[in-house]
Structure 1
Amino acid sequence: MLEIKKILFGGAQWDFLLEIVGRSIIMFVMILVILRLSGKKGVRQLTLFEVAIILSLGSAAGDPMFQEELPVIYALVVLFSVIVIYKFVTWLSSKSTLINKVLEGEAMVVVRDGMFDLKHEHDGDFSKMEFFSELRNQSVEHLGQVRVAVLEVDGTMSILFYADSDVKYGLPLFPDHYMQVLPHENVDTFACMYCGQIEPTIIENQTCKRCKRKEWSLALKTKRV
């Protein structure tokens, strides 16, 4: 019990608690003002560069909330300096495609013509399961429903769908159907479990001609609901 009391209250200056509340309110309001000045509406819109800015703001705002020797004015100077830097770099980014790519990154094609695009398969950011999740969140049952899917720089997924009359066989994305099947099983059409390549029939240990994998699932051709 004594240890808990020491951890919670040891060395606390009780007359400084009210000042901490005041400092916290001031810094919280200033963070809101700075975020409004940045022009962003929500976290979903943030790029990696903007996340770095937010972390800088949080670091600058945190210490003066409870450190008596740090006047709040220091943090305010840091906050406004950061937002000026942000505005300048954003303006610079709008004038230079190279700088924009370095700071924001590039949109990445995830699905093309009903199959996973393999150009980025060796990138560190390539995660098939994350793409599965994003596509499922857009009510995509299988890749044959998707003409193009693009992962935007802010993490959102933009999708162009096939018309119902053009839907083709595709790799299923939901766990109930995304499972390995064997050549002798009663399956009409097969889909490579890695890239979505479609084959009407396969033989034992057949290798996908696109990605060279050997795992196959049944392919679906259901229309979007």
Structure 2
Amino acid sequence: MKTFDLQRMAFDEMPPDFLFEVAVRSFYTFILVFLFLKITGRRGVRQMSLFEVLIILTLGSAAGDVAFYHDVPMLPVFVVFITLACLYRLVMWLMNHSEKLEMLFEGKAKVIIEEGEFAWEKMQSQNMTEFEFFMELRLHSVEHLGQVRLAILETNGQISVYFFPDHLVRPGLSILPEPCNERFETVPEDGDYACIRCSEVVTFNAGDKLPCPRCKNHVWVRACTAKRVT
């Protein structure tokens, strides 16, 4: 085999006019995926449940094969599309009649912040880091956790946030990026400090060097008391 053979690298054994067939196949699979999204009524991936993403990935795998491989016929992919569409409709109907099945496929919403602090025990079971939570919360114009009465991780991965009124905002862990928050193991002055790991707020005296009573972490930042800017 000749190395760096441009003919082989570009077309392998296919004739150049096979590119037109690839374009037709790609358009065909695009239409199938488009029709499926119209059937499900979803506008974006962030609105999809785990089950719906699984359906799309399965259809996408079949669509990718038929788009690029000349020996994959187009009709079986249409059968895959019909089968998945019927499966989707069936599972949606079953979930409307069974709460347990709905929880199996959709999961359930999780409380991640309660009364201005992380719901630490519940958060540990989630496959997201606190940095991902912080990013999502910043998109809701949250500066620190003391502004948040309740935050819920929805089944589609989005976060619903419910705020304290301004007069009830309490000291909380700042969720701004690390350069904006000086960290301490020994606190420099009296005041409220927040654990960077679990968000527990503790009042310290200058010179204190104590672990967090909640998670035993030793690193703290000054608790923030800023009101919301809307």
| Deviates most, 95-104 or 74-83 | 95-104
Contact persistence 1:190–1:219 (CA under 8 A)? yes
Residue 213 (structure 1) aligns with: 217
Q: Is the 8 A contact 1:114 1:143 kept in 2?
A: yes
Correspondence for 2:51: 49
Quickly say closer, same or farther: Cα 1:124–1:109, change in 2 above 3 A.
closer
Task: Give the TM-score normalised by structure 1.
Answer: 0.92
User: Please, which of 181, 185, 193 is the counterpart of residue 184 of structure 2?
Assistant: 181
16-25 or 211-220: which moved more? 16-25
TM value normalised by structure 2: 0.90
Which sits farther off after the overlay, 151-160 or 10-19?
10-19
Per mean C-alpha deviation after superposition, the further-off stretch among 127-136 and 158-167 is: 127-136
Deviation at 1:122, TM superposition (A): 3.4
Change (3 A) 1:94 1:180: same
1:153 shift after superposition: 0.8
Partner of 1:192: 195
Q: Distance in 1 between matches of 2:140 and 2:112?
A: 14
User: Residues 51 and 14 from structure 1, CA distance in 2 versus in 1: closer, same or farther, beyond 3 angstroms?
Assistant: same
Tell me how large the CA RMSD over aligned residues is. 1.9
Of residues 217, 220, 226 in structure 2, which corresponds to 1:222?
Answer: 226
Instruction: Could you tell me which runs of 5 or more consecutive residues in structure 1 were left unpaired when the two chains were aligned.
Output: none
Give 3-state SS (helix, strand or coil) of 1:120's partner.
helix
Structure 2: where are the runs of 5+ without partners? none
Question: Deviation of residue 208 (structure 1)?
Answer: 1.7
SS in 2 for 1:125: coil
Q: Which amino acid aligns with 1:174?
A: L
The Cα offsets for residues 73-132 of structure 1, whole Å up to 9 and x where unpaired, read as 111111011111011111111221111111111111111000000122432514111111
Change (3 A) 1:187 1:178: farther
Alpha-carbon shift at residue 182 of structure 1 (Å): 4.2
Cα deviation, residue 218, structure 1: 0.3
Shift of 1:35: 1.4
Helix, strand or coil at the partner of 1:217: strand
Taking the aligned partners of 1:93 and 1:80, their CA distance within structure 2 comes to: 20
Q: Between Structure 1 and Structure 2, how many residues are aligned?
A: 225
1:201 pairs with 2:204 = yes
The answer to whether residue 174 in structure 2 is matched with residue 172 in structure 1 is yes
Query: Within the alignment, does 1:87 sit opposite 2:89 as a pair?
Result: yes
